[in-house]
Amino acid sequence: MKPMNELLSATGTTIFTVMSALAVQHGAINLGQGFPDYDGPPDVLKAAADALMDGRNQYPPMTGVPELRQAVAAANKRFYGIEVDPNAEVVVTSGATEAITASLMAVLNPGDEVVLIEPLYDTYVPTVKLLGAIPRIVRLSPPKWELPRAELAAAFGPKTKAILFNTPMNPTGKVFTAAELAFIADLVTRHDCYAICDEVYEHLTYDGWKHIPLMTLPGMRERCLRIGSAGKTFNLTGWKVGYVTCDRALQPNVAKAHQNLTFTTPPNLQRAVAVGLAKDDAYFASLGSELAARRDMLAAGLTELGFHVLPAMGSYFVTADIRSIGFTGDDVAFCRMLTEEAKVTAIPVTAFYAGEDPPNHYARFAFCKNESVLREALSRIRTWMEARRGAQRVAG
């Protein structure tokens, strides 16, 4: 038979699927995949259940039900002062991953170049390549993950059509600073291109850090496609409800891409997310404070065990240096061993790199779990480390 799509055939199963399956196989606590082990707000869940029974279960409008488009517009105004026309500048998608794909489809032609910042979400590069575009990757370096300005500027050129980046950032926990965003905005303007802004962790920031949408900077309103996620904001990752906010000139192409990907998103979930986006300020403030406490618990526990833990200003994740506990293998070997022997699962950070020779001595741990689960995970790691030290003494 004739060969299938070469890129997809060469693409392996995602590390998240592999490690989650391994966690199930070994009865491990899964601190790998970034999903909470607690449910979303009861009023949002009830709104979805009620909407399921109200007789409106056929195809909703392609760009999203009016209630949710209005709620997304209101949230943009409420949190960032961005004025948005809900009827012409919002597209609701089946998750943020679809929103990213639709946004790329909206602006790219084969041969265009896209600047990407790694470590990065593992769908970015394959999606860019599937669309016939060329990724130009710029690498951030631990432990501070600062933007390398000269390298970033050099990645832009005559064929640059867009930059795609994530802030707050997975897996680093980085929140891009105002100065870094201003530098990106200047490059976007000078090269007359677009910015696709993956902002799914927008409300998950800590220690006084605040998320700044690139769209709020001068000259960026008409160039940005801003992506949000109900899954991350309401601890409902399985709902797969995302949304794109963009200028009215860009929205029709995003909508056409969405039409050819999923066409629409379950209407009851959309209406429930609209209820969630209208929740009071206390709810959105609590997201950061509650997760910060879990982050601190996990980071302190890992530090006590001997890991060097990098700072995390946002997202669901902390990154730990596995060399600091004397592990001499790479991150993939560590995460597999941790799952099989300690019964705790983490993700090797090399999974977030597409370039050559990534740092291979970091593991990513998710802290969006109940505190009892985090305590048990730390206890298991401690027991495992003590057993390994005992075995090494005997062998020595």
β-strand partners of 347: 364
Q: Give average pLDDT by consecutive 10-residue segment, the chain, 396 residues.
A: 94 87 96 91 98 94 98 98 98 98 98 98 95 98 96 98 98 98 98 98 97 98 98 96 98 98 97 98 94 97 98 97 96 97 97 94 97 98 92 70
C-alpha span between 207 and 162 (Å, rounded): 31
The DSSP string of 43-105 is HHHHHHHHHHTTT--S---TT--HHHHHHHHHHHHHHH-----TTTSEEEESSHHHHHHHHHH
C-alpha span between 6 and 8 (Å, rounded): 6
**pLDDT confidence of residue 13:** 82
Q: Which two tokens stand for residue 23?
A: 């966690």
Which SS3 state, helix, strand or coil, does residue 219 take?
A: coil
| pTM of this structure | 0.95
Residues with Cβ < 8 Å from 375, sequence gap 6 or more? 297, 301
Angle at 127 between CA 248 and CA 35, to 5 degrees: 90
